[in-house]
A and B are shown apart, each in its own frame.
Chain A
Amino acid sequence: MRPAILIGGVLVGAVALTALVSVVWTPHDPGLIDVANRLQPPSPQHWLGTDQLGRDIASLLMVGAQSSILVAFLSVGLGALLGVGLGLAASALGGALEESLMRLTDIAIAFPALLLAVMLAAIYGPSLEVAILAIAFITMPVFARLSRATANQAWSREYVQAAIAMGRTRLGVTIHHVLPNIVSMIVVQATIEFAIAILAEAALSYLGLGVQPPTPSWGRMLAEAQTFLFLAPHLAIWPGLCIIAAVIGFNMLGDGLRDATDPRLRGMRR
């Protein structure tokens, strides 16, 4: 097994497992406010101490993993679904339609996600849905380009030509012959986009444009911790470490999977 896949897999597995476990069990109720025990250092009762309201930090971090994974999953899933659909359609139909769809992705790629989230937040007010939409929108063109490029390769293969000669429709060829050829590329790219989505969610939640209170999220925990930097700087350490672990995990897993599935790209980075 490649070390990148192993290390990445372990980190991703740990974050995912934490998120799953937190659904049924956390050491304390993450919402339980206990002002008498606020800003406590780590202890046997509170493994990582308590925050400014006396809430258990370890429990908050565990539930925070849920927010990160959920947002990443929904936004990358939506982006992949729309992007792959666009890419496959562009590749199957070709011509002026393909050209104009690709020019649209050029504009979308050039447009920073944060600015999109900001505009949507200004119109609809900040919310989790707005954050997910904004992140999905930036991942979409990446998937569209990737799936179009890979699908175009598949369309030029002889067995695809044979299938067309035998009377399969464009839709049939796309579903039965093109899609199976691009699935592994999509999965690899999705893994890398997960890392980008987790960073974006953290930044948006930190700015108050993502996960809304009282739902715990790593980005929002950092924003709250910043008020207490002089009193309890340790509050600002843990959520950041969680973000880094998740991002490194998905980055390494994605890189490792890409190297494993495509030896020509070995050692290259985006």
Chain B
Amino acid sequence: MTAFLLRRFATLVLTLLAVSAVVFAIMNVLPGDPALVILGIDSTPEAQAALREQLGLNAPLATRYLDWIGAALTGDFGISYSYDLPVSTLVLERLPVTLPLALAATLLMAVAAIGLGLFAAMRHGRPGDWGIMVLSQVGIAIPAFWLGILLIILFAVTLRALPPGGFPGWDEPLAAIRALILPAAALALVQAAILTRIVRSSVLDVMRLDYVRTARAKGLSRNAVYRRHVLPNALIPIITIVGLQVANLVTGTIVIENVFSLPGLGRLLFQAIANRDLFLVQALVLLFAAAVVIANFLVDIAYVVIDPRLEGRLE
């Protein structure tokens, strides 16, 4: 197990380095002059040259990459040009919005999908199953941002039960939680539609196996069979899909924060684009991509915890 974890961790570090190199390459190798982007086309060549010097753009590319990634490892992502603040300060300020949103959406997605998928599998071929399958087919096609708008129309405009957007901060915990309910639901439900189908088919596959019939035959109740035999064995394909969906959830926060005007990392990213703050964009994209890679690493670990038989096969 320790050897497996060490190897996985080494792969994680290598993947993170590859991702950081890709981000750096796209932001720095593609034609385009950051100094020109920041100052605008009306600026004087002297001003552009001065800014290039100040930003360290005259150093060789490899040196700049190593400087950037070396500083990033110590938590130093440089200074945001438009905010005149360290990028790390801006990120820490916004993280208490984005992180709870992503976690709540993941949890909600898993609970909804496992509940609905189990329900559909237990009623296989009957109207309940059919209804959930139709709903999930529609759910897969719904853009999360449109679902967000529909939730605003229903719960904020019509029922006036929840706020249509904005975030009051964690000084008012109750209001903060209320502000995150609709965004988390919009993010989670679309992903839950995909996961529900996987849960259903995975549970149906396991239900056909002999040991499930044996468990029923020896007198275990239906619910006990599901809890002890079906669900744990159905989890492997479910976890695989969850791993793929984490990427959607992480980038989904970028869109949803813009729908609900939440002051999180996603909104910061868009302000950075509007302000042409290339270094802030570069740091934020790296953080989002790293979150996806790390989430997939955790999923790999989860496999082995759930099913130790996989330890050898995942090499």
- Tell me the bound Cα distance from A119 to B276 in angstroms: 11
- Tell me the bound Cα distance from A164 to B146 in angstroms: 54
A240 touches B146 (CB 8 A): yes
| In the assembled complex, B278 has its CB within 8 A of some CB on chain A | yes
Determine the main DSSP class of A at the interface with B.
Answer: helix
Within 8 A of B (CB), among A199-254: 199, 202-203, 206-207, 219, 222, 225-226, 229-230, 233, 236, 239-240, 243-244, 247-248, 251-252
User: Interface readout for A120-148 with B: 1 if CB under 8 Å, 0 if not?
Assistant: 11111010000000000000000000000
- Tell me the bound Cα distance from A207 to B270 in angstroms: 9
| In the assembled complex, A118 has its CB within 8 A of some CB on chain B | yes
- Tell me the bound Cα distance from A110 to B299 in angstroms: 14
B157 touches A233 (CB 8 A): yes
- Tell me the bound Cα distance from A188 to B288 in angstroms: 32
A112 touches B138 (CB 8 A): no
| In the assembled complex, B32 has its CB within 8 A of some CB on chain A | yes
A243 touches B143 (CB 8 A): yes
B30 touches A203 (CB 8 A): no
B146 touches A112 (CB 8 A): no
Q: Which of B37, B141, B145, B153 has the most CB of A within 10 A?
A: B141
A119 touches B27 (CB 8 A): yes
User: Interface readout for B153-193 with A: 1 if CB under 8 Å, 0 if not?
Assistant: 10011100000100000000000000000000000000000
B18 touches A248 (CB 8 A): no
Collect the chain B residues with CB atoms within 8 Å of residue A119's CB. Answer: 23, 26-27, 281-282, 285
Collect the chain B residues with CB atoms within 8 Å of residue A239's CB. Answer: 146
Total count of chain A residues near the partner, CB < 8 A:
38
Q: Which of A114, A120, A243 has the most CB of B within 10 A?
A: A114
| In the assembled complex, A24 has its CB within 8 A of some CB on chain B | no
Collect the chain B residues with CB atoms within 8 Å of residue A118's CB. Answer: 254, 269, 273, 281, 285
User: Interface readout for B240-251 with A: 1 if CB under 8 Å, 0 if not?
Assistant: 000000011011
Residues of B within 8 A of A (CB): 15, 18-19, 22-23, 26-27, 30, 32, 37, 137-138, 140-146, 149-150, 152-153, 156-158, 164, 197, 201, 247-248, 250-251, 254-255, 258-259, 269-270, 272-273, 276, 278, 281-282, 285, 288-289, 292-293, 296
17 extra interchain contacts, Cβ-Cβ under 8 A, other than A110-B296, A244-B138, A251-B141?
Answer: A107-B22, A111-B22, A112-B248, A112-B250, A112-B289, A115-B251, A116-B26, A118-B269, A119-B27, A120-B26, A120-B30, A202-B143, A203-B145, A207-B255, A219-B143, A225-B149, A248-B141
